[in-house]
Amino acid sequence: MTLISRQTIDAVFEAARVEEVIGDFVQLKKSGSNFKGLSPFTDERSPSFMVSPVKQIWKDFSSGKGGTAVSFLMEHEHFTYPEAIRYLAQKYNIEIEETEQTDEDKAAMDARESMFLVNTFAAEFFERQLNQSEEGRAIALSYFVERGFTPETIKTFQLGYSPDEWQAFTDEALEKGYQLEFLEQTGLTIVKEDKKFDRFKGRVMFPIHSLSGRILGFGGRILGSSKTAAKYLNSPESSIYSKGKVLYGIYFAKQQIAKEDNCYLVEGYTDVIQLHQKGITNVVASSGTALTPDQIRLISRLTNNITVLFDGDAAGARAAMRGIDLILEQGMNVRVCSFPDGEDPDSFAKEHPKDVIDHYLKENSKDFITYKARMLMAESNNDPVKKAATINDMVNSISKIPNDIQREVYIRSCAQIMDIGEAVLFSTLAQLTQRQVKEAREAFKDPQKPFEVVTHKPKAPKVDIQYELERKIIELLLLYGNQEAEFEDLLLKETESGELELEPFKQQIKVFEKIFLDLQEDEMVFSNEQFKGLYFTIIESLNQNPSDLPQNLVSKVPTDLAEIMTTILMDHERYHLHDWERKNIFPQSKDGKIGQLVNETILSLRCFLIDLKIMEFQSKTNDHEEDHKEILEDVMNYSNLKRLLSRKLNRVL
């Protein structure tokens, strides 16, 4: 086992574009010089996820996470650091240089990585059996060819075959050094007492990939009919595979989904593969499971539009309808398309060229609410009881939609289709909504009643002025630390009469030098330990290379400090300086001169610390009566200093 060299890591950071890396997982839209998108870490409907191409960092304001392209992969895909580097090296065609790994490093390999390695080996084994073994070619390959899959398609989706033997895979995996513990945890091997055998014995294999292309698990289809074995069998739940959180084909579909701003949702593996082979690649499958909120949120990272494709028979239509209310609840736009009776996406795609399929999907994809209303009305056959049930069913679906305007548009449309007054539908909708609110309150034991008047006034959060000012100094170092600026200063001098006065002078130096000298002169230290660590890291880096961008340190500091740096940098992008006066902090607008902004911040911190010192002296007067006079003199001196500083800041303090 080896370690990735420092040269390779540096080359990866230099080549990787954060907007390109994140764009593979999150739908990003241009917003000024940055990009915005929905958070991939929380369930949100207003975008708070920001990516800065200039600074090469990202920030998720809903979860607080942030960092570089590497840290995104570690957070989103649960990669280890080496995995993220290898992924980016492959993406940007960078050759990986490696050094020998120590025994301690080998021991640090975690179980998740071992399970991924086992799955990768299994996929390769199943592919070899499909293409090279006599049994695989005769049974499994002929099945795939019969389904119309080309060799290129079979290779792309890494389709394979598990031999019809009890231990063929397990024996080879153990012989190659893979541990039985991880063969069992991935579900590839079933262990019962002293016996072990292959889970997918005698099945054609469909690897299930994550959004980044890692193999999470497998689906296996038995060939022929069996009364005792399930037609399809999936890997069991594990720390790397959760059936309700993945979608088959998402890795191959993600870029086209974002490009087309639409995702086709089908039921099975072969539906995905057949459509993909015909050039319709923005398609995923729920793999026969009931659709889950996690799967919908996975799609919502790439688009807000889902088109559900289903079989032409009544059973297919009803199966497709079951999960659509869930999609509506997530605020997604849903369209549906049914195929001719007796057809499914697989068979229809197999028999028609791409232009015919595209035309059919375009002409037959209908708004879900309209489609469902017409279908249910046809089924009710003018039976008053059935019609009433249909109306309630429709209004219940509409109530799931979070957008008020959308709900009203759908209510008006349904009223026309169902030939019923809008007022009746709106009334039914209001009753449903009130019931949902009541149920939610009861579920969370919310004692507050509707329209209850809140008599107490909530207290405004107390602002930690020192924290805000120390954070501002770090921000100035990150944004302008290596820039040279002119500083108009006032030198504090003592006159012959013993009074303090300020003498003006100008100097042209770098921002980090100015901040360092001022803080050193006043012997000011950071009260926040993380800010203190960042401060000395930035100063040391700029002392060694004054022309370096402080933002480049994000990839070189510990994770906790990198998150703080990212938050500060992206807050600067997200907001203009505002609301400081309410906090009794008065930094210059960032549109002003850098020198003024630096001076304002440091002077504000000085004044704040003087206030703390005065309060400290005043508290001593009660404890040390004999030093009372001397303490009062100190208070007077600090008060005079503060008065001079306030003159410099041009405001009363």
- Is the residue at 371 inside a domain? no
CATH number of 278's domain? 3.40.1360.10
DSSP assignment, residue 457? P
- Is the residue at 386 inside a domain? no
133 lies in the same domain as 192: yes
634 lies in the same domain as 493: yes
Give residue 561's identity as a one-letter amino acid code. L
pLDDT tens digits along 3-41: 788 888 888 988 899 999 999 999 999 888 889 999 988
Last residue of a domain, one of 241, 270, 295: 241
pLDDT tens digits along 307-344: 999 886 666 666 667 778 888 888 889 999 989 888 99
CATH number of 145's domain? 3.90.980.10
- The pLDDT of 499-520, averaged and rounded, is 77
7 lies in the same domain as 96: yes
- Is the residue at 491 inside a domain? yes
Cα dist from 446 to 285, 441, 459, 532, whole Å: 39, 5, 21, 43
Last residue of a domain, one of 106, 125, 149: 106
145 lies in the same domain as 207: yes
271 lies in the same domain as 227: no
Last residue of a domain, one of 321, 342, 364: 364
Note the pLDDT of residue 489: 67
- Percent composition of the chain: helix, strand, coil (DSSP 3-state, to 5): 55, 15, 30
Cα 308 to Cα 297: distance, rounded to the nearest angstrom: 15
- Is the residue at 527 inside a domain? yes
Note the pLDDT of residue 576: 41
pTM: 0.66
Q: Which of 481, 565, 531 is nearest to 52 (CA)?
A: 565
- The pLDDT of 546-552, averaged and rounded, is 75
184 lies in the same domain as 100: no
- Is the residue at 350 inside a domain? yes
- Is the residue at 122 inside a domain? yes
Cα dist from 281 to 253, 306, 307, whole Å: 5, 14, 13
- Is the residue at 431 inside a domain? no
pLDDT tens digits along 41-99: 887 888 889 998 888 899 988 888 888 999 999 888 778 788 889 899 999 999 888 76
494 lies in the same domain as 614: yes
281 lies in the same domain as 335: yes
99 lies in the same domain as 116: no
Can you give the residue range of the structural domain that contains 30?
2-106
CATH number of 99's domain? 3.90.580.10
Q: Which two three-digit tokens encode residue 44?
A: 């949100």
DSSP per residue, 30-62? EETTEEEE--SSS--SS--EEEETTTTEEEETT
pLDDT tens digits along 233-281: 999 999 889 999 999 999 999 888 888 889 999 989 999 999 999 999 9
* Environment class of 566 (CB within 10 Å of its CB; exposed 0-12, middle 13-18, buried 19+): buried
231 lies in the same domain as 133: yes
| pLDDT confidence band for 455 (50 / 70 / 90) | very low
| pLDDT confidence band for 149 (50 / 70 / 90) | very high
**Domain count along the chain:** 4
100 lies in the same domain as 115: no
Cα dist from 378 to 275, 371, 372, 416, 495, whole Å: 31, 11, 10, 14, 98
502 lies in the same domain as 637: yes
